[in-house]
Amino acid sequence: MFLETLKLLVLSLWYNLESFIYFFLPRRRKDISGEVVLITGAGQGIGRLMAMEFGARSTVVVLWDINQDGVKETARLAKQSGAVSVHHYLCDCSDKNEVYRVADKVKREVGDVSILVNNAGIVTGKKFMDAPDSLIEKTMEVNTMAHFWTYKAFLPAMIANNHGHLVSIASAAGLVGCNGLADYCASKFAAVGFAESVGLELLATGKDGVKTTIVCPYFINTGMFDGCQTKWPKLLPMLDPSYVAKKIIQAVLTDQVFLLLPKSIYLVVALKNILPMKQGILLGHYLGVFNVMDNFKGKNKKQA
């Protein structure tokens, strides 16, 4: 017990010092050229921008989406950005059998995926009692269960090679509950817990070459949350999609486990866990959490 406690104290001191140093100095970035990167929900928004960012780093880019025109356009842009090769597939990530079928096709035609980006997501934007059961189920299937099936499909090869990267595009709503987003928050809380747990499982089994990055941004200005308003835009801004995509790529290149955007979310999450409940609710009112979905419109049919 004495030796383990001493080890804990010494390493804790070192890790905090290391973190302090990296606060001022940039972390070393790994080379991902030649890696096979698969992005779900790549037909538009953050998925498209990430495809271009990964393509610019000489990777093999694999794109999944349910929108054929959208994924074709993303493929064109990713190729222009410098990707070694680009492959696009129609895939409904809410359908387990389709995920497995298309995954097998990718492995035959492209090879083993070494960077998996679970980006596909949907939002109903309805109060819990107003949301049809079918939409609640679809939210969980796309935002959560799809991650299970893609991991099942592509993680075995990463484990065998002790090399790879799992990227979960979750949400700040997966860390802090939000009025009007019960099903969405539930799906994102589950996505965060799943990704974190699998990451720990990999470490426990000695597969430290397979990295995990969990991304929890505030609302991104892609149209998905059209109509939502932020009470304090300087503190909690609607995020620019290009900025978010670049920060995600940077997090992957530096093996950052958690990426919260903007940085104020780190403080919000910390306060949530230490404040008395009543004070937490008071803070929620102050930050506008209770009213952020009041004017929600979401994507129109053309955008969707």
Helix (H, G, I), strand (E, B) or coil at 217: strand
> Which run of H or of E encompasses 169?
strand 164-169
Q: What is the DSSP code string of 93-111?
A: TT-HHHHHHHHHHHHHHT-
pLDDT digits (tens, 9 = 90+) for 73-90: 999 999 999 999 999 999
Nearest to 191 by CA among 145, 124, 125, 244: 145
Nearest to 45 by CA among 12, 74, 72, 87: 74
DSSP conformational letter for 128 = G
Residue 299's pLDDT band, with cuts at 50, 70 and 90, is: low
Fold of 30-287: Rossmann fold (3.40.50)
Instruction: Give the number of other CB atoms < 10 A from CB of residue 247.
Output: 17
pLDDT at 294 over 90: no
pLDDT at 24 over 90: no
Mean pLDDT of 158-176: 96
d(CA 131, CA 104) in angstroms, rounded, equals 35
Active site residues: 184
pTM over 0.85: yes
End-to-end CA distance of the chain: 57
